[in-house]
Chain A
Amino acid sequence: MIETSLFENSDLIALFTTLKMAFVTTVILMVIGTPLAWYLAKMNSRYKIIIEAVVALPIVLPPTVLGFYLLIAFSPQHLPGQLWQTLTGQQLAFSFSAIVIGSVFYSLPFVVQPLQKAFEQLGNNVLEAGAMLGASSIDRFFTLVLPITKASFITAATLGFAHTVGEFGIVLMIGGNISGETKVLSIALFEHVEAFNYAKAHLLAGSLLIGSFIVLGLIYLLNYTKPKINQRPNNQRSITVKGSR
C-alpha cells in the first residue's frame, strides 16, 4: 500500500510548478490563440495554409526537435535570448519563462484548432444580424461569439492546459531540471523511474491519471447540454380560407 508520506516535498514543488506553468501558458494561449483562430477562420488569403501548417507543426514534430531549436534561440548567443537578457537582465534558457514560452508553441494547435473550427461553423450570419441591430464588433464578440462558442473555448482551454501538464521533451530540453523553477511533474516522475523508486513513480503517475480524468470529466459535464426536444404543439396557428366559389 502506498502511503501519503511518500509524497516528497520536491514532488509537491514540481506539482506547483506544473500547475503554474500550465495556468500561465493557458492564459497566454487563449489571449494569442483567439485572434489567431479568428484570423484563420475568416481569411481567404493563400498565406492561410502556411500559417495553419506552422501552427499545426507541434502535433507532428517530436518535442525534442522543437525543444532543440528553442534552446538554441533562447541561448545568449542568439537574438531572442540576447533580447530577453537585455530586457530582463536574466538568462532565458533554463528558466520558468523559457518553459512557458516553449509550452505556448507546443500547445498552440490544441487551442487554435478547436477555436478556428468553432468560428468557421459560426459563420457570418449571426454577426451580420448583430451588426444590423447596432452592435459594434467588440460588442458582437462578447455578446454573440463568446457565448455561442463557449463550449469550444472551454475545450480549447482544457486541451491547452492538459497538453501543457503532460509536457516532457521540450521542458527537459529548454528548462532542464531545476526544482522550483523548471522541474515539472513529468520530469519528477522520470527521475523516480530512473532511480528505480517505483512506489513514488506510481504515486505521481496515478495522481496525474486520476487528476486528469477528474478535470476532463468536469469539463465534459460543464459542456454537456441536454438534447432539445421539439415540444411544439401540433395545433399550429392557422387561418381559415374560404374556398373559391
Chain B
Amino acid sequence: MSNENKSLNFNFNTQLDGFTLSVKQTIPTQGITGVFGHSGSGKSTLLRLISGLESSATGQLYLHNNVLFDSTKRINVKPEKRRIGLVFQEDRLFPHLNVKQNLAYAHQRCPDKKLNIDDIISLTQLTPLLDKDVTLLSGGEKQRVAIARAVLSEPELLLLDEPLSALDTKNKAIMISLLLNVQQSLNIPMLYVSHSLAELQQISDNLLVMKQGNIEHFGNIHQVIHTLNNSLETLQQTSLSLTIKEHLAKYGLTALQLTQNISLYMPLLKSFKNVPLKSQLAINSTEKSLLVRCYIAANDISISRNKAINSSIVNHFQAKIIKLQAQGSTVLVTLTIVESEYLKQVFYSSISLWSAERLCLKIGDLVYIQFKASAVHGLANLAEE
C-alpha cells in the first residue's frame, strides 16, 4: 500500500447531551498526531467515534481507504473488528489477571501475532512486574502495562486518550520517552489526545486543535503551536526541533544546532533512569537524525537594540522583526533569524508595550534576541509545567 493511502479520513456530525460535534479531517497515519483542546472540546468523543465505542453519529470513517463507518450505507464495523487500539485515561487493566495475563489476553486475540510478546515486555520494561497483581501497581506501571497490552493487539492505529493525565510529572517524562521509543521501534501510527500542550510538543509530529466540537487547526506541530500564539489561550512560545551539536557536561549545557554558525544552549540532556537519551528524542523521518524537541516561552525572550557583550546570557543572536501584535499592555513580536534566509526559523518574544515604544520597534528592524539556557525547555523540564 502506498503512503498516499495510509491515512485516517473522518467526517462526523453528532449531538450528545446538548454537545454538538462536527469534524472532518484527513490525517496521515504516520508518526504521532496530537489532538489538543480544552475540556469539553470533543477530543475524547472523537476518539470514541474513531474506535467505534460511540456510534451515535452521522458521517463516514475510513482507515487506509477501508470503510469502518458509513451512516448512509449503514456500515458500522464493531470495535473489536476495527484493528484500532485504545489506551484510556484510566488504565482499565483486567483486575482478575496479573500483568503477564493482561498482556497475553491481547496477544492471544491478535490475528497476526507478528510481534513477539517478550520483545514488547522488554521494550516497555515490564519484566520485573510480570507476575504482579495489577491492582498493586503504581499509576505509571499500570499505564505501561496498558500501553504494552494495546501494542500487543497490533493495531493499525493506536489511540491514546490522555494516557498520562493521572501520572506525576516525573513519570510523565519517562512515559513520553517510552511512547516515543515504542512508536519509533514498531512504527505504529498514533493519535494522542491531551490538554497539555507541553506534552504534545514533546511527542507529536502533527497537531490537531479542537475547540467546541470543531477542528480549528491541523498541521505540523511547530507551525500549529505558533498559530496558537495568536489565540492567547495557550502559553505563547517558540517551538523547535533541533539536532544536537555537542554536550558540555562540565558546564551542564547541551548545544543544539540552530544554524550553521549559531548554537542554541539548553540545560544538559541526560539519560533518564533506564531510558537512554536516544529514546527521549524524536527521529526526523527524512534524515533519520535525532532531534531535540524544545520550546522557549515568549515571556523569556527579550529584545535589545544592541549586541549584548559580556553578558551571562548564553543565547543571543540577531533577528529581524516581521510582525508586531499589540495585545493589551503587551506586544507579541515575531522575528526570524537573519543569518539564514532559507531556514525561516521564527522566534516569538512577548514584551511590554512600554518597552516596544521605548525601543521604537518597527517591522523590518534588525534587533538582538536573548534568553538564558534555562529558558529552553525540553522533556526533562516537563516537570515544571
Binding site for B on A (CB under 8 A): 125-126, 128-136, 139, 143-144, 147-148, 228, 230-232, 236-242, 244-245
Contact = CB atoms under 8 A, between A and B. Distances in A.
Most buried by A among B53, B88, B94, B135: B94
B109 to A, nearest CB: 4
A242 B136 contact: no
A136 B82 CA distance: 12
Interface in B275-328: 275
A240 B380 CA distance: 9
B263 to A, nearest CB: 16
B70 interface: no
B153 interface: yes
26 contacts: A125-B92, A128-B53, A128-B92, A129-B92, A130-B105, A131-B52, A131-B78, A131-B79, A132-B153, A133-B80, A133-B85, A134-B80, A134-B106, A134-B110, A134-B111, A136-B78, A237-B138, A239-B174, A239-B273, A239-B380, A241-B381, A242-B270, A244-B374, A244-B381, A245-B252, A245-B372
Interface secondary structure of A, over-half rule? loop
A237 B129 CA distance: 13
Nearest to A146: B96
Nearest to B86: A132
A131 B92 contact: no
A228 B90 CA distance: 20
B296 to A, nearest CB: 13
A152 to B, nearest CB: 13
Contacts of B96: 147-148
Contacts of B111: 134
B264 interface: no
Given A232-B138, A242-B270, A135 B80 contact: yes
Nearest to B144: A237
A146 to B, nearest CB: 10
A134 B86 CA distance: 11
Nearest to B110: A134
Nearest to A245: B374
Given A133-B150, A134-B106, A148-B95, A239 B173 contact: yes
A244 B140 CA distance: 25
Given A241-B383, A245-B267, A134 B153 contact: yes
B133 interface: yes
Interface of B: 51-53, 78-81, 84-86, 88, 90, 92-96, 105-106, 109-111, 133, 135-138, 140, 149-150, 153, 170-171, 173-174, 252, 267-268, 270, 272-275, 372-374, 380-381, 383-384
B170 to A, nearest CB: 5
Given A228-B133, A228-B136, A239-B170, A133 B372 contact: no
B80 A244 contact: no
A236 B275 CA distance: 15
A73 B174 CA distance: 69
Contacts of A143: 105
A132 B109 contact: no
Q: Which 5 A-B pairs have the closest CB atoms?
A: A244-B374, A134-B109, A129-B92, A239-B272, A131-B79
A126 B191 CA distance: 21
A132 B136 contact: no
B252 A242 contact: yes
A237 B140 contact: yes
Contacts of B150: 132-133
A130 B78 CA distance: 12
Contact of B273 (A128, A144, A238, A245): A238
A126 B171 contact: no
Nearest to A231: B136
A177 to B, nearest CB: 47
Given A228-B135, A239-B380, A133 B267 contact: no
A232 B80 CA distance: 34
B268 A136 contact: no
A132 B79 CA distance: 6
B89 to A, nearest CB: 10
